[in-house]
Amino acid sequence: LDFPKNISVIAVCPKGMGPSVRRLYVQGKEINGAGINSSFAVHQDVDGRATDVALGWSVALGSPFTFATTLEQEYKSDIFGERGILLGAVHGIVEALFRRYTENGMSEEKAYKNTVECITGIMSKTISTKGMLSVYNSLTEEEKKEFNAAYSASYYPCMDILYECYEDVACGSEIRSVVLAGRRFYEKEGLPAFPMGKIDQTRMWKVGERVRAARPEGDLGPLHPFTAGVYVALMMAQIEVLRKKGHSYSEIINESVIESVDSLNPFMHARGVSFMVDNCSTTARLGSRKWAPR
């Protein structure tokens, strides 16, 4: 894409969905440091002021931290990340784990707590404040064995799908599929319309409504070692794909860890998967629906 040569071209990209960007911006009136981190890119600078303008936008958004990237690295990591651990992949693994646990005799309520509540509650809080290793260190010796088994079984299958997804994004195939899906929202060529369907109508998410209704205030849920192993494996696989593809560590951690545990998972914890996914862009919503079943 060629831009006119007489204009500066910059990007400032908050690392969270619109509602959370606004909510934390407002919180900044009372809480120093509240806000959503942003990335910024200067693609073209015609007057020497582009970087200052970009950083000014980020400050105006209330971002406590701003890290540099490029337009290309930003769109690749952003579109890939929302199909990965930020939205699509976390949706996929909680559905799969819920099915695994219930098929092995666990009650539906307990299975929901050991999947969604575990990831969006205690794990997100621990990773946000103490890091991933603290999740592992908080387990008993027996639980660590279960974590290790789940991690080892999940890491390469997660990487396999994430690697494919990244390359589809990088070559443009993924965005083309989004454009084509958008056209199918409407009747054409004698075929019916196929708008986006609802993603929270399965048994699991109906169970989740009951669990949340009965949840004591402040309850972060249990730390289930198998779920923890799968989720950390997913997170590490995404980190490694982005690292091998040349992204900066600040971008990697924001797209794989911080945005997940601080911005997005709390929405699923509050009201379920649709509240998280469908508060995002159409591109993100379509991508999550496409890749979650994988």
Strands 38-44 and 9-14: antiparallel
Q: Where are the alpha helices (DSSP H) in 104-224?
A: 108-112, 124-130, 132-137, 141-170, 173-183, 203-214
In angstroms, what CA-CA distances link 141 with 42, 123, 138, 212?
49, 18, 10, 30
Marked catalytic residue, from 74, 82, 95, 262? 82
Q: Which residue in 15, 74, 95, 278 is the catalytic one?
A: 15
The CA angle 173-17-214, to the nearest 5 degrees, is 115
Could you say which of 74, 78, 95, 174 is catalytic?
A: 78
278 Cβ partners below 8 Å, 6+ apart?
Answer: 199, 285
Q: Is 109 a catalytic residue?
A: no
Q: Within 13 A of 29's CA, how many CA atoms are on the CB side? A: 4
Task: Give the CA distances from residue 31 to residues 25, 59, 83, in Å, rounded to whole numbers and listed in that order.
Answer: 10, 15, 32
Tell me the three state secondary structure of residue 237. helix
- Binding site members for substrate: 281
Paired strand residues for 133? none
144 is a catalytic site residue: no
The residues near 90 (Cβ < 8 Å, ≥ 6 apart) are: 119, 231, 234, 260, 265, 268
Binding-site residues for Mg(2+), in ranges, read 78, 82, 255, 259
End-to-end CA separation in angstroms for the chain:
32
Question: Is residue 113 annotated as a catalytic residue, yes or no?
Answer: no
Query: Residues marked as binding?
Result: 78, 82, 255, 259, 281
CB 89 within 8 A of CB 284: no
Residues classed as catalytic: 15, 78, 82
